[in-house]
Structure 1
């Protein structure tokens, strides 16, 4: 590739290697390197690469109809995907809005929750606020960035962000739970914090509380302690606010059930999904909407005041439906659970004792490793060292050839380093062994190099 690349890459200082093919859990690079995609990109490639069923479904849809505008026509592809998704919730969610990315899904969810209060028989136009959590990440568009609590990603754009969003603490037991504090007491403390935030901003001004069932990029696969989400939803119900769960990264099977909320004994009013929905075969994300919200909209104007050119794109919908049917027909959620248990066991056996591994956490095939300077105090490394990025960059080298998805900001949103592992749902035990053993090599070599 020319060093004068026309494409604006993620950095203007470096041009990445070119991927020229992929099959199963592997990506093939232009220089012959065979790369084990142990993060599925950004927890996207749930079926791996080169799935023939998905490819054929996309080709068939392209041959039939590639695009039409939803202001004029519907398509069977979008209807079929929506029906599949509604049925997958047992009818608990009754409508689906399909767009192209997780950030777009969050934007739509925020606007829908605002419109819900305008469409009530007695409208509540004073509801203009949202409560999120910190650290958290909900997307890069301005509304999603405001809803999120990722300080580093927000910093440059903070003057552009709405002041209508405030944040409470995430449920992060490793760093947030006090010594000797039970799960129940920790949940009660976090619920009291959310309640106090409602009181502070005005209980009747909040549209919704938004949270990730398992925090992805911002914290590195942090699940909540038992009972947390039930308690948060109860606070929302106390004040009439909606309860939004962002499952863009943690949903669609990644954590061992198709919807992460199935494990939490709660049902959201609005749910966002994305990465594992289409598995990377086409850009797609969606908003799943509870009947509570649908009924209000239907009894009001019946019109969601939000539309996008590529919403319900038929090729993307055909791809996503083929992905979801493959997950169902090949019983891949069972493999997620089984291989997830094996991945956890191997990570703990081979990395938990490392002097700079502070915590290993996650669910299903969604695991994070947090690195610390001092294990006893949980003190993070100096942010200037860029530990997580160094580990990610090292893993990409030919002698390792795996992906370790780097993240920072686990401490006060600024310091702290972690990496994520999120292999495809088709991963085998042999591939898990390669992933874990190579991760151990990378971590060992990186820390040896900086001491």
Structure 2
């Protein structure tokens, strides 16, 4: 029987013989990969900005995975910190013990907020961090005197993504990612419009008018569900995976915080993807003129050297717990894991000591300039947006109307796959559902914080050539 060619997820072609790609690949790996229909590329080594594959190719990691590898790969200081911590203690149960790694990381993180936040709580993933934030918000109202047990509702935003666990997915507005599990998700989350100037602002509307309209929408949603029943409003300051690096317009978060304060609700800011230096300040809220009540952090926290994420809690919330039960009714086996904390601590020290957030701003300005010079006029590039070293490119089928491509074409994934070809050798992070959770395509470019001007020039050139060549090939 001759080989048969099939394609999947918008681009990569795989050859199989017996007509069943899953059966052809499953026996090659005991891992349940993201798809049973193919085996992913195998990384044999990584150093700096490059991933080296078993097929002999080298890939410029222009996205740090999912905006994770903020120092690149193979940092010697972080490796040494991991080994040193293993020589002290690799694991101990946080109910009974603490470690200098956990204590020092917490002190480092709180110092980075200039004391605006009071405590940190470390877990192993962004989804777990959002779960903790949800539970912390609920418990806050049970710690008040008098208690407010009626506070059970949350308001989040459309076209958002906050995690993959049932609680964090319930908070998310990404339609496609919710679809399979919709019957299992809690029903006490409602949504308002995202702050997306490219698709949300009306013709002739100023940014100030847009903010007023969105604040009015949030206020009306509080009124609809009952303002005395709302725990918190949840939002990403720069929407990463769901919308493709869409920042809030100036004045948006102060206006949203004012609505929350009006009704006594908390503001939870999800900075898992956009924070810890990625957007040009250590925390994105430091650019927004607000201090969240609870903040989730992740990805750039540990730079991929260990699985770690967490929440930062401000004084208002911590003081309520202190006056009440004195404990957070939530615990995990690996919270405050010593090795993960040691890795994150060294990553954060390197960022601070090397003034790398300053470099993020400088190199981010070059990245923005280069991408817009090369691609802003491309007929299939609808919008280029972002902050710092966190940039998204949205693709459109028709530029004047902003009409997206048919999702069946898998445009974003196909652009990524083209970048992986040997004559380009660049990883560009794909995303879909950009418009409404089903339609729309974008890619992210979010390199390491220590990139140089020559690195940025190379990233711009390769990314632009991939996009130009891809769309020329399908036209």
- Per-residue CA distance 1:308-341 (angstroms, 9 max, x = gap): 0000000000000000000011111111111100
- Give matches, 1:122-133, under 5 Å: 122-133=146-157
Structure 1: gaps of 5 or more residues = none
Equivalence for 2:286: 262
Deviation (angstroms), 1:409: 1.2
Give 1:31 deviation, angstroms: 2.0
Q: Does 1:81 align with 2:116?
A: no
1:64 aligns with 2:97: no
How far apart, CA to CA, are the structure 1 residues paired with 2:258 and 2:104? Answer: 34
After TM superposition, the structure 1 = structure 2 runs for residues 304-323 of structure 1, keeping only pairs within 5 Å, are 304-323=328-347
Partner of 2:274: 250
Deviation at residue 3 of structure 1 after TM alignment: 5.1
Contact conserved, 2:430 with 2:444, CA < 8 A, in 1? yes
Pairing 1:298–2:322 present: yes
Q: 2:26 touches 2:36 (CA, 8 Å); kept in 1? A: no
In the alignment, is residue 150 of structure 1 matched against residue 180 of structure 2?
no
Give distance in 2, aligned partners of 1:302 and 1:395: 52
Tell me, in whole angstroms, the C-alpha distance in 2 between the residues paired with 1:244 and 1:17: 37
Give yes or no for contact 1:3–1:15 (8 Å, CA) kept in 2. Answer: no
Picking from 160, 163, 170, the partner of 2:184 is 160
Query: Partners in 1 of 2:417 and 2:54 — Cα distance?
Result: 18
Q: Which residue of the partner structure matches residue 22 of structure 2?
A: none
1:30 is displaced (CA, Å) by: 1.4
2:193 is aligned to 169
Partners of 2:119 and 2:314 within 8 A in 1? yes
Take 2:196 and 2:218, find their aligned partners in 1: how far apart are those partners?
15
Aligned counterparts of 1:429 and 1:397: Cα–Cα separation in 2: 24
SS of the residue 2:348 aligns to:
helix
Structure-2-length-normalised TM-score: 0.94
2:64 and 2:270 mapped to 1: Cα distance? 19
- 1:145, 1:298 → 2: CA distance? 30
TM-score with structure 1 length normalisation?
A: 0.99
Q: Determine the structure 1 residue equivalent to 2:4.
A: none
For the Cα contact (< 8 Å) 1:187–1:227, is it kept in 2?
A: yes
Could you tell me which of 290, 295, 302 is aligned with 1:271?
A: 295
| Distance across 2 between alignment mates of 1:90 and 1:429 | 30
Aligned 1:9-408 pairs, distance under 5 A:
9-408=33-432
CA distance in 2, matches of 1:17, 1:419: 20
Shift of 1:449: 2.1
Offset of 1:2 from its aligned partner? 8.6
Question: Which residue does 1:420 correspond to in 2?
Answer: 444
Residue number among 12, 17, 28 corresponding to 1:4 in the alignment: 28
Give secondary structure in 2 for the equivalent of 1:238: helix
Give the Cα–Cα distance (whole angstroms) in 2 for the partners of residues 410 and 64 of structure 1.
Answer: 46
Asked whether the equivalents of residues 218 and 259 of structure 2 are also in contact (C-alpha less than 8 Å), the reply is yes
Q: Which ranges of 4 or more aligned residues in structure 1 deviate by more than 2 Å?
A: 1-4
SS in 1 for 2:466: helix
Does the aligned pair in 2 maintain the 1:65–1:314 contact within 8 Å?
yes
Distance 2:59 2:273 in 1: 22
Tell me if structure 1 keeps the 8 A contact 2:364–2:388. Answer: yes
Gaps of 5+ in 2: 1-24
Deviation digits for residues 195-220 of structure 1 (CA, Å, limit 9, x no counterpart): 01001101011100000010000000
CA distance in 2, matches of 1:21, 1:2: 24
SS at match of 1:210: strand
Q: State the Cα deviation string for residues 76-95 of structure 1 (Å, max 9, x = none).
A: 11000001101110110010
Separation of aligned partners in 1, 2:229 and 2:383: 38
Separation in 2, partners of 1:104, 1:398: 37
Rounded to whole Å, the distance in 1 between the matches of 2:289 and 2:428 is: 31
Partner SS for 2:433 = strand
Q: Name the residue aligned to 2:3.
A: none
Equivalents in 2 of 1:83, 1:95: separation in Å? 9
Matched residue of 2:424: which SS?
coil
Q: Do the aligned partners of 1:96 and 1:286 also contact (CA within 8 Å) in 2? A: yes
Report the aligned-residue RMSD.
0.9
Alignment check: 8 A CA contact 1:128 1:164 kept: yes
Q: CA offsets per residue over residues 395-440 of structure 1, 9 Å max, x none?
A: 1122211111111112122101100000001111111111111111
SS of the residue aligned with 2:65?
Answer: helix
How big is each residue's C-alpha offset from its partner over 1:210-264, in whole Å with a ceiling of 9 and x where there is no partner?
A: 0001000000000011000000000000000000000000000000110010000
Q: Displacement of 1:4 after TM fit? A: 2.2
3-state DSSP of counterpart to 2:454: helix
Cα offset for 1:448? Answer: 1.9
